[in-house]
Structure 1
Amino acid sequence: MTSSRHALLDNATHRDLTVASGAGAQWGDGVMGCLVVPSEFRAVAAHYPIVFRRDGQTGRFAPLALFGFEQGENLFLHQDRWDAAYVPLAHAVQPFLIGRTRHEDDVPQVHIDLAHARVGAPAGQRLFDETGAPTPYLAAKAEQLGALDAGWRDTAAFLDALERHDLLEPFTLEVPLAEGSTRSLVGYHIIAEDRLAALDGAALGDLNAQGYLLPIYMAVAALGRFPDLMARRGRG
C-alpha cells in the first residue's frame, strides 16, 4: 500500500514546492478508475463508463469512472498524454485534498500529500509565487477541490435515493482478450433501466425535484462508453 503524508498547505513551509502537472504512470496515473460525484456525471459520461461499487465493510455504494478493466490499467494514458478532454475531479486534484477541522462550519483547508509522486518534481508547477501568493495552477486546483467537496456532500443523499427506489442492479461484462479468451468484469452495479422506466410520476417528480434525474440518466448514457473502452484495449 502506498504511504501518504498529509500536511496543511501554507506559503511559508511550501514556498518553493513544485508539483508535476503532466500525465504519466510515474505520477500515479496508472489506475483502473476513480471515484466520481453526481455533479460531474455529465462531463464524465462523455468519456468514461460510470458504475457503482458497494463497500464490503460499510455496505455503502460509491460511483466510479472506469479507465480500464483491471487493476493498474488506464486505457486513456498514452505515455505522457491523457487521451480525454476531462479528467474526473478525484483524480485531477491529486496530490491535493480537502482538510477539515472538528467544526463542520469552518472553511475547508487545502492539504497536500507530501509523499505523492507528483510532489517535488524538478520541472513541476510552483504553488506560490515570489510574493507568497497562490499561482494560477494552485488556484485552479483549489477550485477543483471545492467542486469535489461540494459534490461529495451531495453524493450520500443521491445514493440513498437510488437505493430507496431500487435503481441499482449487479452488472457483469465479458471483456475479449487478444488471445481469444475473455475476462469478466464483476463486482459492480449499474442503473436498472427497467426499474427506472417503471417509476411512477410521483417517484420521478421526487427525483427530479432533488436534481437526481439528470445524473441518473447520465449514468445510464455512460454505459455507452464501454465499447470505446474495449476498443482501446483491443488497440493495445
Structure 2
Amino acid sequence: MNTYNFIPLDTKVHREISVQPDNSFAHAKNFNLVNIGFNELASLSGCLPIVVVNNEATDKQSLAGVVGFENFGNLFCSENQWQGHAVPLSVQTHPFNFAIDNNKVTVLIDDSSDRVQDNADKEYALFSSDGEPTHTLKHYQACLSNLIEGQQQAHTFITILKQHDLLSPLSVTLTLKDGQTVTSTDLLSINEEKFAKLDEAIIVRFHQQGIAMAINAMLLSLRQYNRLVQLTQHFDNPAEKVGIKLSQQ
C-alpha cells in the first residue's frame, strides 16, 4: 500500500528542491483504478476502459480509468515507460496534489517521494533563484488546474447520468490461464438501451453539451478491456479472456 506525506507547497520551504521526472510513473504501479476528469474522456477512451466507480460506504460515484486488475497491478507501468499513448492527469501530477477549502485551491507536494530531492537540480528545480516558479513547476500547476476542472466536470456529468437513470452495474470477470477467475465489482457503466430510448429533445441537448460524445466514448472504451488482457501476457499466470456483463435493470 502506497503511503504519502502531502504538505502545502511553500516557496520558502521548498525553494531548494527539484522533482525528478519518471516516465514509468512507478508510484502508480499498484493501482487498478485511477480518477479521471471529464476533459480526459476523448484521449483516454482509446487507451483504457473508462467506468464509474461506486463507493458504497459514501454512496458517491466518480469517473475512473481501469489500468489493471487484482494480482496484476497497473498494467501500464513498465520498467522504463508508460504502456499507452495517454496518461491520466491524476498520474501525471504526482508528486503533487491539491486541496480545496472555501473555493481556495492549495497545491500540495508529497515530500516523501523519491522524486523529490534537495539538491536543487537546476533542470528540474521548482523555483528560480528569485523565488519564481520555473517551467517545471508551471507544468505541474497546469496539469493540476486541468485535473481540478475535469473532476468538477466529471461530477456534473455523473449527476446528469443519474438524473436520466443511465448508469447500470457492470461486472467484469477475468479468466486466468490456470482457470482462476477475478471479478471486478462496484463498477457502473452506461446503459445503452436506456440511452437510445431518451426523448429526442434530450438527445439533441446532450449533443450540444458534449454529453453524447462522452457517453459514446465510455461505451467504446470498454473494448480496451481486451488490451488489458494483452498486457498481462508476460506474467506467469496471464489472463486468457475477459467477460463483460452490464445489468439491464
Task: Please indicate, yes or no, whether the TM-score normalized by the shorter chain is above 0.5.
Answer: yes
Separation in 2, partners of 1:71, 1:41? 26
Question: Structure 1's 26 and 223: CA in aligned 2 closer, same or farther, altered over 3 A?
Answer: closer
RMSD: 2.3
| Alignment match, 1:130 | 129
Separation in 2, partners of 1:13, 1:137? 17
Runs of 4 or more above 6 Å deviation:
121-124
Bigger shift: residues 168-177 or 121-130: 121-130
* DSSP 3-state at the match of 2:15: coil
Check the 8 A contact 1:170/1:190 in 2, yes or no: yes
Separation in 1, partners of 2:231, 2:118? 30
Bigger shift: residues 209-218 or 18-27: 18-27
Check the 8 A contact 1:23/1:29 in 2, yes or no: no
The one-letter code matched in structure 2 to 1:232 is L
Question: Structure 1's 116 and 176: CA in aligned 2 closer, same or farther, altered over 3 A?
Answer: same
Separation in 2, partners of 1:174, 1:166? 24
Q: Per-residue CA shift, 1:93-141, capped at 9, x if unaligned?
A: 1121223343x2x5x3322122344323877932123332222221111
The one-letter code matched in structure 2 to 1:118 is R
Shift in Å at residue 144 of structure 1? 0.6
Q: Where does 1:169-180 land on structure 2 (aligned, <5 Å)?
A: 169-180=168-179
Q: Per-residue CA shift, 1:159-210, capped at 9, x if unaligned?
A: 1111111111111122121223322222211111111122120221232343
* DSSP 3-state at the match of 2:86: coil
Q: How many pairs does the alignment contain?
A: 233
Report which of the two has the higher share of strand.
Answer: 2
Q: Where does 1:148-227 land on structure 2 (aligned, <5 Å)?
A: 148-227=147-226
* DSSP 3-state at the match of 1:233: coil
The one-letter code matched in structure 2 to 1:120 is Q
Check the 8 A contact 1:31/1:72 in 2, yes or no: no
Question: Structure 1's 28 and 183: CA in aligned 2 closer, same or farther, altered over 3 A?
Answer: closer
Q: Where does 1:28-47 land on structure 2 (aligned, <5 Å)?
A: 28-47=28-47
Separation in 2, partners of 1:183, 1:54? 18
The one-letter code matched in structure 1 to 2:172 is L
Q: Which runs of 5+ in 1 are unaligned?
A: none
| Alignment match, 1:9 | 9
The one-letter code matched in structure 2 to 1:21 is P
| Alignment match, 1:78 | 78
Q: Where does 1:47-66 land on structure 2 (aligned, <5 Å)?
A: 47-66=47-66
* DSSP 3-state at the match of 1:183: strand
Q: Percent identity?
A: 25
Check the 8 A contact 1:7/1:112 in 2, yes or no: yes
The one-letter code matched in structure 2 to 1:19 is V
| Alignment match, 1:231 | 230
Shift in Å at residue 35 of structure 1? 0.5
Check the 8 A contact 2:55/2:186 in 1, yes or no: no
Check the 8 A contact 2:161/2:167 in 1, yes or no: yes
Separation in 1, partners of 2:3, 2:76? 25
Question: Structure 1's 232 and 209: CA in aligned 2 closer, same or farther, altered over 3 A?
Answer: same
* DSSP 3-state at the match of 2:48: coil
| Alignment match, 2:245 | none
Separation in 1, partners of 2:17, 2:195? 49
The one-letter code matched in structure 1 to 2:136 is Y
The one-letter code matched in structure 2 to 1:186 is T
Q: Where does 1:16-31 land on structure 2 (aligned, <5 Å)?
A: 16-24=16-24, 27-31=27-31
Check the 8 A contact 2:37/2:152 in 1, yes or no: no
Separation in 2, partners of 1:25, 1:39? 21
Check the 8 A contact 2:37/2:149 in 1, yes or no: no
Question: Structure 1's 161 and 142: CA in aligned 2 closer, same or farther, altered over 3 A?
Answer: same
Question: Structure 1's 203 and 39: CA in aligned 2 closer, same or farther, altered over 3 A?
Answer: same
Q: Which runs of 5+ in 2 are unaligned?
A: 236-249
The one-letter code matched in structure 2 to 1:91 is V
Separation in 1, partners of 2:118, 2:71? 25
